[in-house]
Amino acid sequence: MMAIAGIWISVLLLGGGFALDRTLTRQVQSNFDDQLEYVLTALIASAEVDDWGDVRFYRSLGDQRFLEVNSGVYWQISGPDKEPYPSRSLWDRTLEVDGSHIDDEPHFYDSEQFADEPLRVVERNIILPDSDTQWTFTVASAREELDFQIARIRSILFWSFAVLGLGLLMMAALQSYYGLSPLRRVRAAIQSMRSEGANRIEEPLPLEVEPLVEEINALLAHSEKQAEEARTHAGNLAHALKTPLTVLTNAATANDPKLSDLVCRETKTMQRHVEHHLARARAVGRRATGHARADVWPSAESVVRAVTRIYENTRFDLDGNREAAVAIERQDLDEILGNLIENAAKYGGGSVFVTVDADPIDFDNCTIWVEDDGKGIPDAERVRIFDRGARLDTGKPGTGLGLAIVRDVAEIYGGTVELDESEDLGGLMVRLKLPRSGMAKEG
C-alpha cells in the first residue's frame, strides 16, 4: 500500500509540477515579451525617414537604459545596404539580424550572440512612409532577469511540491498504519486463540473487520463441528467394532466349536458398521469440496432402471419436476435414492411411486416422495428404524443400514428424511428434503 501510494503521489506531483512549471514559465516569458513588444511598438512609432533616406526619431524614447552603455537593453534599426542604426547602449557592438526572411509580425527568439549575456530578441520588418526600404526594427534585452524569475519560480515549485509530497507520504503512512490496526488486532486475537486455547474471537473490533471476524468464527465453528463429527464417528466405529471383536476373542480363547459361525456373523456385523461409516466419510469429504450440484430427475431415472432389473414384477412410476436440482453430489444422491427406492420395492406390494419436487414453491428445499403399497411402518417404530442395523422384516435379506445411511448422508448436506403413511398406496411414504442448488434458485 505504501509503495503504491508513493508511486501514485510521485506521478501526480511530477505531472502536476511539470504542467504548473510550463504554465508559469510561459506566463513570465509572455509578460517579458509583452514589454519588449511595447518598446518595439514605441520605437516604430517614433521613427521616420529623413531627406537623405536614413531613419531618425522625431521624439526620444523614454527608457534611459538605451543611453547607458551595456545596460542590457538594446535596439537597432537595419536595412539593406544601410548602416545599422543602434542604440547608444550597444556602443561598439551590433545586433545580428537574419535578413533571409520578412517578419510582418513581431518575431521573438533567444540569442547567444553576446558572450556571457544571453538575449531575448524581438524583431519586425516595417516599410516607413516616404521610403521603399524594408527596415528591420530589433529590440533585445538580457535574459538575466527573466532567467532569475524562472529559476525562482522553479525553486518555489520544487520545495513546495517536495514538502507536499513528503506530507502526503506521511499522511498515507499514518492512514495505512491506523487503517490496518484492526487487522493487527485480529492477528493478535488469533495468536491469543492459539496460545491461550480460546475457540472464538470475542474481542470487540471495529465495524470494518466485523465481517472478517464473523467469517473466521464461522470457519472455526465449522472446523470444530467437523472435528467433533470425526471424533464421534471414530468413537462410534470403535464402539461398534468392540463388541464383535470381544465375542470373537472370547470364542477363540475358549475354543468354542461354533467359532466359524461366530466369525461369519460378527464379521458381517463389522462389515455393516464399516460400510456405514465409510458412506458418511465419503459424503462429508465430497461436501467439503465446494459447490455441489446434481439433477434429481436423471438420478432417479437411472436408479429406477437399475432396481427394475432386480424387481421385475414391481411397477415403478416416476413423476414431477424434471428440472429440479439439489446441492448434493450425484454419487450421494444416487445412493440415497437407491436405498429408498430399493427398500420400497423390497417391502412393498408391487407398486412404487416416486414424485420429484411436486411443490416447487419451496425455494429453499426440493422434496422427493417415495411411496409403496406395502404394510408400512407403525408410528412407534418410525424413529427406531433409522438406527443402524434396525430391521422390521428379518425374513428378507439386508443389512439394516439403508435408512440409516439415507438419514446420515441427507443431514450432512442439510437435508431431512421423514416417514409417513402413503395416502394413495396405503404403504410407507418417505419424504426426503434436500437443499436446492444455488444455480437452480437463481434460475
Residue 121 in any domain: the answer is yes
Give the predicted TM-score (pTM) of the model: 0.47
C-alpha cell at 432: 426426503
Q: Per the domain annotation, does 198 fall within a domain?
A: no
Angle between helices 296-310 and 330-347 (to 10 degrees): 40
The three-point CA angle 52-53-54 to 5° equals 95
What CATH number is attached to the domain comprising 372? 3.30.565.10
Domain boundary residue, one of 254, 286, 318: 286
More confident residue, 151 or 247: 151
Shared-domain flag, residues 333 and 252: no
In a domain, 171, yes or no: no
The answer to whether residue 370 sits within a structural domain is yes
**379-391 tens-digit pLDDT:** 877 777 766 444 4
Same domain, 434 and 353: yes
Structural domain containing residue 33: 2-150
Looking up cell 506530507 gives 167
Residue 146 in any domain: the answer is: yes
User: Are 236 and 365 in the same domain?
Assistant: no
Q: Total structural domains in the chain?
A: 3
| Domain's final residue, options 259, 286, 313 | 286
User: What CATH code is carried by the domain that includes residue 80?
Assistant: 3.30.450
Query: Cα–Cα–Cα angle for 79, 81, 83, nearest 5°?
Result: 70
Q: Is 97 found in the same domain as 220?
A: no
193 within some domain: no
81 in a structural domain: yes
Please answer whether residues 13 and 164 qualify as being in contact, where contact means their C-beta atoms are separated by less than 8 angstroms.
yes
Give the model confidence (pLDDT) of 258-302 as tens digits: 777 777 777 776 776 676 666 666 656 555 544 678 899 999 999
| Segment holding 355, helix H or strand E | strand 351-356
Which has the minimum average pLDDT: 101-105, 149-153, 233-237, 340-344? Answer: 233-237
Q: Looking at the structure, tell me whether residues 295 and 435 fall in a common domain.
A: yes
* Distance from C-alpha of 356 to C-alpha of 434, rounded to nearest angstrom: 11
What are the start-end ranges of the H helices in 180-209? 181-196
Same domain, 390 and 250: no
122 and 223, same domain (yes or no)? no
